[in-house]
């Protein structure tokens, strides 16, 4: 087993030198993007985004392939961007959305030194059994099943040894690549986006932050049927997270193998998510079906708290009022709702265009998810400044709404919860 070393601070040239073989791919991708820019140079003169689609397609494919081959933090980067249709054109969202975190597991001989660093030379004394073969592996961590000395079954999430050092290299390379892409997306502050992306990924690499999220989430008054694994802080650290082992199947598996059993789980997930957003103001921000376990007792267990978001009571009230107006559930004047929700950049022309887009959306048979996606895309076209927390909320609703729509579970507000009235 093994532990992790703390990241070191170094200049960009030195970081790239140490990773020169691996980041030859970054240079090749940068060259491909430059060639695409030259090939489609006539398109860059147009302001109509649809005219730029061929260029966006070429660049998106190149970037997605780079992220896939480099793995690690690059997968995290892509996943972050795939959830931001308010920032990027559809070509990038589609390309990045295909990337998954599945990765080959690290050999136990490489992992054991990490455990010794994190838990001490006698790390094995903390367990009565430890399965050296991981039950799951992803781009930055792998999970081992183990048993504590009191017989409790636990999941040991262990960050891979290379991740911290590679993250510093990845961040430096991404900033360098940004300078190549910037001419393509002049309307965006690409440097600010990349800095936010790096900061978000850095937080997800800190498992002590995830532990705090888990403990706070577990303390919420969830409805019956929602389960949160118990954490073991004494055994956890920035690179290691030990939690209760919850038996069962992932919601992904149940959706595929037993849709009839999955539908009540999706209803419960939708109900729980809306309560988290509207009532608690603290919500799980990565509701991928692989992050939920359906237990033998038909409880829905929530896993992976690397990404959570907070909303103040005022934000919940203003966002809910705006959402209901955007979805055609009320008819308040638009501008005051946007201003109260913290949006910036709305003038008379933009408001007119947005109102027209809303009318078109409400005249179709679009689903909740399609409407929300279309609205985010329109916000981006209008260059509105959108509160990050609003985007996070809509992103979660889009994911959950996509699952429920696909499996024919109708959207509904939770019983007893008045939208926007949470404490």
Which pair of tokens denotes residue 300?
């829905």
Residue 217: closest CA among 314, 299, 131, 306: 306
Query: What distance in Å separates the CA atoms of residue 285 and residue 388, rounded to the nearest whole number?
Result: 12
- Domain range for 177 is 12-103+163-204
User: 187 and 283 share a domain?
Assistant: no
Evaluate whether 390 touches 341 at the Cβ level (below 8 Å): yes
174 shares its domain with 319:
no
Residue 110 lies in a domain: no
List 385's β-bridge partners, or say none: 344
Domain final residue pick, 174, 204, 234: 204
> 260 with 375, same domain?
yes
Q: Is residue 279 part of a domain?
A: yes
Residue 417 domain-assigned (yes or no): yes
- CA atoms of 362 and 327, how far apart (whole Å): 7
pLDDT of residue 297: 95
CA-to-CA dists, residue 92 to 36, 83, 95, 100, angstroms: 15, 10, 5, 15
In terms of domains, do 170 and 263 share one?
no
Classify residue 219: in a domain, yes or no.
no
Taking CA atoms, 260 is separated from 263, 266, 406, in Å, by: 6, 10, 13
Residues 193, 336 within the same domain: no
Residue 232 located in a structural domain:
no
CA 35 – CA 291 distance, rounded (Å) = 40
Asked, for residue 158, whether it belongs to a domain, the answer is: no
Confidence (pLDDT) at 416: 64
* Nearest to 384, CA basis, from 338, 328, 337: 338
**Same domain, yes or no: 295 and 380:** yes
* pLDDT for the residue numbered 156: 96
Q: Does residue 226 fall inside a structural domain?
A: no
Query: Could you give the number of structural domains in the chain?
Result: 2
Domain check: are 192 and 257 in the same one?
no
Both 338 and 189 in a single domain? no
Segments of the chain scoring below 50 in pLDDT: 1-10, 420, 422-423
Rounded to whole angstroms, the Cα distance separating 76 from 160 reads: 14
pLDDT on residue 40 = 74
Regarding whether 420 and 317 lie in a shared domain, the answer is: yes
Does 332 share its domain with 184?
no
Tell whether 192 and 337 lie within a shared domain: no
CA distance 151 to 326: 52
pLDDT value of position 382: 81
The answer to whether residues 195 and 251 belong to one domain is: no
């Amino acid at each position: 087993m093994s532990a992790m070393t703390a990241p070191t601070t170094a200049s960009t040239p030195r970081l790239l030198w140490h990773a020169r073989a691996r980041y030859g791919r970054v240079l090749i991708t940068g060259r491909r993007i430059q060639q695409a820019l030259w090939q489609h140079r006539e398109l860059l003169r147009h302001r109509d985004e649809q005219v730029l689609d061929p260029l966006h397609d070429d660049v998106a494919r190149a970037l997605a392939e780079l992220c896939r081959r480099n793995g690690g933090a690059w997968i995290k980067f892509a996943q972050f961007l795939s959830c931001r249709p308010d920032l990027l054109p559809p070509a990038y969202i589609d390309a990045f959305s295909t990337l998954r975190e599945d990765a080959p597991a690290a050999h136990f001989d490489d992992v054991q030194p990490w455990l010794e660093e994190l838990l001490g030379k006698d790390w094995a004394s903390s367990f009565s059994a430890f399965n050296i073969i991981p039950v799951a592996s992803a781009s930055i961590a792998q999970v081992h099943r183990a048993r504590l000395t009191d017989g409790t079954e636990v999941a040991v999430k262990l960050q891979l040894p290379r991740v911290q050092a590679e993250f510093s290299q990845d961040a430096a390379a991404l900033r360098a690549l940004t300078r190549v892409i910037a001419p393509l997306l002049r309307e965006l502050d690409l440097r600010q986006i990349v800095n936010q992306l790096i900061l978000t990924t850095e937080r997800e690499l800190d498992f002590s932050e995830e532990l705090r999220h888990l403990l706070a989430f577990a303390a919420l008054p969830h409805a019956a049927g929602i389960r949160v694994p118990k954490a073991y802080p004494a055994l956890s650290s920035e690179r290691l997270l030990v939690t209760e082992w919850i038996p069962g199947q992932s919601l992904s598996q149940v959706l595929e193998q037993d849709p009839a059993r999955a539908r009540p789980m999706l209803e419960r997930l939708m109900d729980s998510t809306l309560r988290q957003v509207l009532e608690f103001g603290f919500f799980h921000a990565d509701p991928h079906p692989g992050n939920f376990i359906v237990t033998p007792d038909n409880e829905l267990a929530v896993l992976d708290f690397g990404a959570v978001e907070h909303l103040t009571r005022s934000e919940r009230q203003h966002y809910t009022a705006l959402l209901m107006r955007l979805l055609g559930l009320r008819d308040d004047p638009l501008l005051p709702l946007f201003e109260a929700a913290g949006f910036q950049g709305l003038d008379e022309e933009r408001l007119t265009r947005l109102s027209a887009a809303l009318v078109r959306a409400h005249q179709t048979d679009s689903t909740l998810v399609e409407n929300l996606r279309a609205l985010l895309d329109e916000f981006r076209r209008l260059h509105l400044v959108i509160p990050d927390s609003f985007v996070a909320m809509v992103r979660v609703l889009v994911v959950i709404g996509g699952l429920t729509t696909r499996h024919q579970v109708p959207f509904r507000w939770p019983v007893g919860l008045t939208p926007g009235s949470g404490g």
